[in-house]
Structure 1
C-alpha cells in the first residue's frame, strides 16, 4: 500500500510525486492521459521551459520520476474515490481497487467552451483564455476577444503588448461599455459570431461578415471540475467551482489533499491556471503530506 494515491499527472501531480519520492515516501500516480492543456502546442511563461511542448514536459517529468523507487506511475482512469477502513478506496474503471491512507486530487478543471462551431478545434492552438500564457506571441498582430462580459479586463491586459483588438459583442454590451472599449482602442463588432475556422496562420471569424484575426482570446468559457471526486467525497467547494484548500493543500476532509487549478484558498479571487502555479501547489501539498506522515 502506498502512502498516498495521486490522481492526475499534470504539473501538480508530477511535482507532488517528485517531492514525495525525494523524501522516500511512496505514491501511486494515476495518469488518465487527459490534460487541460492537452491541445496546447507550446507552454509559455514557464521558467526554463518557455516554449516547451506540454507533451515533452510531461515526458521529461515521467522519465525523471523513474529514478525514485517509491513512485509508481500507472496509466488508467479512476471512477470513484471513497473513505474505507480509515483511509480511502480508489476504484479504477477496469474494476481494480487500490487503498491508501491519503489521496491527493490533481485532476484539474475542464473548459466548457461557448457553442461556436469550430472553436473546440482551435482551442489551445489559435484560441486561448490566458494573456499571461499566450498574449506575447501576438505582439504587433490582431486578436479577437470572444465574450463581452470580461472583454474590458482582457483588453486592458493586452493593450501594453501592442496588439490590435477586435471585440465580438455577444449581446452583453450596453452603449457605455461599448464606448469604454472603443476608448481603449478596441474595435467592437456587433454581429454575433456564428463560426470560426483556420485561415492560414490565423482565424476566420464569421460574424455577419468574414473577419480575419491572428488569434482569439475567449473570455466566456466556463470551468468545472474535470472529475467527480470532490462531489463523491463531499469536499467543501468555493464559488469559483474549485475545491477549498488551506495553505498546504489540505481539503475539508482529513486525508484528502488537492493541488493545481482544481483547488485554491478562499483568499484567492478565483482559479489561476498556470503550469508553475500548479507545480508549486503540488509541492506544497506533498510537503503537507510528508509533515502528516512524520507526525503520525
Structure 2
C-alpha cells in the first residue's frame, strides 16, 4: 500500500510527488496525460521558466522524480476511488486496483471556449484567457476581448499599459450600460456584431464580424467556461464552492478525511475562485503533500504512544 496516491501529472501533482519523494514516503503518481495547457507552447510568469514549453517542465519534473526510489510514476487513468482514510482503493483503466492511505486530487479543470469558428486552434498561442500569463506577448498591439460582461472593464484596464488599444467583441450579446460606460472611459472600442470567424494573420489574428466588418489584432483574450476535468469531486461527495471548484482548507484538505486537492481543481479559504497559474499550482501541490506528511507523522506518533502504553501496562 502506498502512503499517498496522486491523481494528475500537471504542476500540482508533480510537485506533490517530489515533496513526498524527498520525505521518503511511498507515493504513486497516476498521470492520465491530459493537461489544461496542452495547447500552450510558452508558459509565462513562472520564475526560472518564463517562456518555457510546459511539456519541457513536465519532462524535467519526471526526470527529477526518477531519482527518488519511493515514488512510482505511471501513465494511466483512474476511473474510481473507494474507501476511507487509511484505506483507499483506486480503480485504474483496465481494472487494476491501487491502494493508498491518502489521496491527492491534482486533476485540474477543462475549458470550453466560446462558440467562435477558428478560435480553438489559436487558443494557447494567439488567443488566451489569462492576461498575467499571456498579456505581455501582445504588447504594442491591439488586443481583442471576447465577451462584454462585467469582467471586461477590469481586463481592459489591465491591458492599458500593455496594448496599443483594446477592442471588446460583444459577439451579439447585449451590453450592460454601466459596463459600456466603463469601457468608453478606458478608450476601449466596442463592437456589438457577432463574430463570424477568427483566423491567424501575420500580425496576430483577423476577426471577421457579421455584416462584413473585420478587426485586426495582435492577440485575443477570451473567457472560458470550465468544469472539473475528473469525476471524483462528485463521486466522493466533496464540498464545492459556488464557482464549481473543490473547497479545501489552507493545507489542501477537502471535506472528506484523507482526500486532499491541489491546483486548478481546488480553492482555499478567503478566495472567491481559483487563481489559475502554474506557480500557484506548484505551491498548492507542495502544501498538500507537506500537510499529508505531517498527518502521517502525527498518526504514527499516536500509534507508537498507544503501543508503548499498552506494553508498559502489560509489563
TM-score scaled by length of structure 2: 0.91
Q: What is the deviation of 1:86? A: 4.8
Once residues 294 and 12 of structure 1 are traced to their aligned partners in structure 2, the CA distance between those partners, rounded to angstroms, is 22
Q: What is the deviation of 1:87? A: 1.8
Equivalences, count: 295
Counterpart in the other structure of 1:61: 61
Counterpart in the other structure of 1:72: 72
Counterpart in the other structure of 2:207: 205
CA displacement, residues 16-59 of structure 1 (integer Å, 9 cap, x when unaligned): 11110000001100111110111001010000000110000000
CA displacement, residues 154-178 of structure 1 (integer Å, 9 cap, x when unaligned): 1011112243111001323134422
Preserved CA contact (<8 Å) 2:251 2:291: yes
Counterpart in the other structure of 1:216: 220
Once residues 192 and 165 of structure 1 are traced to their aligned partners in structure 2, the CA distance between those partners, rounded to angstroms, is 17
Counterpart in the other structure of 2:145: 145
Preserved CA contact (<8 Å) 2:87 2:101: yes
Preserved CA contact (<8 Å) 1:138 1:163: no
Gaps of 5+ in 2: 300-315
Counterpart among 272, 276, 279 of residue 273 in structure 1 = 276
Alignment of 1:164-203 (within 5 A): 164-170=165-171, 171-203=173-205
Structure 1 pair 291/224, CA: closer, same or farther in 2 (3 Å)?
same
Preserved CA contact (<8 Å) 1:202 1:213: yes
The alignment partner of 1:140 has SS state of: coil
Once residues 174 and 287 of structure 2 are traced to their aligned partners in structure 1, the CA distance between those partners, rounded to angstroms, is 40
Preserved CA contact (<8 Å) 1:82 1:232: no
Gaps of 5+ in 1: none
Q: What is the deviation of 1:201? A: 4.5
Q: What is the deviation of 1:119? A: 1.4
Larger radius of gyration: 2
Structure 1 pair 169/248, CA: closer, same or farther in 2 (3 Å)?
same
Once residues 61 and 289 of structure 1 are traced to their aligned partners in structure 2, the CA distance between those partners, rounded to angstroms, is 21
Alignment of 1:223-242 (within 5 A): 223-242=226-245
Is residue 2:288 matched to residue 1:282? Answer: no
Structure 1 pair 85/176, CA: closer, same or farther in 2 (3 Å)?
closer
Structure 1 pair 89/163, CA: closer, same or farther in 2 (3 Å)?
farther
Preserved CA contact (<8 Å) 2:148 2:179: no
Stretch of structure 1 that moved more, 64-73 or 115-124: 115-124
TM-score scaled by length of structure 1: 0.96
